[in-house]
Amino acid sequence: REPLAPRPAAAPGTALLEAANLRKTFGGLVAVNDIGFAVRAGEVVALIGPNGAGKSTTFNLVTGVARLTAGAVRLRGTDVTGLPARRIARLGCARTFQHVKLVAGMSVIENVALGAHLRGGAGPVRGALGLDAAEEAALFAEADRQVARVGLTACRDLPAGSLALGQQRIVEIARALCLGPQLLLLDEPAAGLRHQEKQALGDLLRRLRQEGLGILLVEHDMDFVMGLADRLVVMNFGAKLCEGAPAAVRRDPAVVEAYLGSPA
């Protein structure tokens, strides 16, 4: 069975995500204060800043997990402000979360196939009951393609919970890729990983960038970010402190004071 038809790739440099004046308040607390940035096809943008800076909240606003107080989000020029998370995902914006969210007892391929169900018509419940065998075969073919794409074919039939943390993170990325996204959002993908696992993750993300994906990540590991990102957006107290190439951001006195601790 053939996998699902791929989504047309965006031309390099195409604006995939445009976030304008994002604002989120909780009562009197301003968690995100007029943040704006863009992510283009074929680039990696990292959102960095101290704990509590509002990075994960910004992710949630972009992906529809949290509702904006003010501001606008556009995907490929289409206004998606206020749309539910599932609709935004279907439009080509896939994400992973800070903590691994795999079904430990299910195989790698079954976990990855869950990501493809958003592109199908039957849904996961009908699929589990075998009510649409042709579609289910196509979804699993797509899952196989993405497992191979991230280099985990050898682990295809193993329980996801038996894999090392680094491999589990890559399984999550494969599941997100089943959506056929043009934009991939990763929430602290390097957290808790050993050196070699970080290297494997970085190599995968560089390959995906080369394939034309736009990647936005929240990350605390500065060495990982500096060696990977094309641009950094630095947040502090919910606001954007600065934005630029990693080398320039590392030298910015305001960033050094707020986050890095000492000049490199």
Structurally, the chain folds into a number of domains equal to 1
Question: Helix or strand or coil: residue 133?
Answer: helix
CA 106: distance to chain centroid?
22
Residue 188 lies in a domain: yes
> In the prediction, which pLDDT does 52 show?
84
3-state secondary structure 65-101: CCCCCEEEEEECCEECCCCCHHHHHHCCEEECCCCCC
Residue 6 lies in a domain: no
Residue 7 lies in a domain: no
Which strands form 15-26's sheet, in the order they lie side by side?
Answer: 29-40, 15-26, 70-75, 78-79
Non-local CB neighbours of 40 within 8 Å, separated by 6+ positions: 12, 13, 14, 15, 16, 214
Residue 9 lies in a domain: no
Residue 8 lies in a domain: no
Maximum CA extent, the chain: 60
Q: Which residue has the tokens 């993750």?
A: 201
Residue 242 lies in a domain: yes
The domain containing residue 251 runs over which residues?
A: 15-260
> In the prediction, which pLDDT does 81 show?
95
Q: pTM for the full model?
A: 0.89
Question: Helix or strand or coil: residue 109?
Answer: helix
Can you tell me the distance from the alpha carbon of 186 to that of 231, in angstroms, rounded to the nearest whole number? 15
Backbone angles phi, psi at 20, to 5 degrees: -125, 120
Given a contact cutoff of 8 angstroms between Cβ atoms, the answer to whether 182 and 215 are in contact is no
> In the prediction, which pLDDT does 263 show?
47
Per the rule left: phi > 0, alpha: psi between -120 and 50, beta: everything else, 3 is beta
Residue 4 lies in a domain: no
Q: Give me the CATH number covering residue 90.
A: 3.40.50.300
* pLDDT tens-digit profile, the chain (264 residues): 566 766 777 888 999 999 999 999 988 899 999 999 999 999 999 999 888 889 999 999 999 999 999 999 999 999 999 999 989 998 889 998 878 889 999 999 999 999 887 766 555 555 455 556 777 888 999 999 999 999 999 999 999 999 999 999 999 999 999 989 999 999 999 999 999 999 999 999 999 999 999 999 999 888 899 999 999 999 998 999 999 999 999 888 888 887 655 444
Non-local CB neighbours of 27 within 8 Å, separated by 6+ positions: none
Residue 5 lies in a domain: no
> In the prediction, which pLDDT does 149 show?
94
Amino acid letter for position 6: P
Can you tell me the distance from the alpha carbon of 219 to that of 210, in angstroms, rounded to the nearest whole number? 20
Given a contact cutoff of 8 angstroms between Cβ atoms, the answer to whether 22 and 68 are in contact is yes
